[in-house]
Amino acid sequence: MKLATVLLAILFATNVFAQGTTSIMGAVGDERGAAVPGALVILTFESGTQLSTRTDVRGIFQFNNLKPGAYLIEIKAPGFSGFTSE
């Protein structure tokens, strides 16, 4: 089954200018739109450093206090094909 992913990259301009940080939030769902809880979400920085988290029961994930830049996001869940996006 394919892992359909909706990524909402939210950049709070006031946050970026005031503190130099931003957040990335998203929701992971299957082909029918049902939430995928417990999916592994890996965020890779340009430097190669990685952060990871798992989606909650609603399929939601969030990374906070990130420096603005380019990131690679990988999502893995048992029984689904993986998802990668820059």
pLDDT tens readout for residues 1-59 = 656 554 443 333 334 455 678 888 888 888 888 889 999 999 999 999 999 999 999 99
The per-residue pLDDT for 2 is: 58
Secondary structure (3-state) at 18: helix
Sign of CA dihedral 30, 37, 82, 43: positive
Domains of the chain listed by start with CATH number: 3-85 (2.60.40.10)
pTM, two decimals, is 0.79
**Is there a contact between 63 and 43 (Cβ–Cβ < 8 Å)?**
yes
**Residue 66 in this model has a pLDDT that exceeds 50:** yes
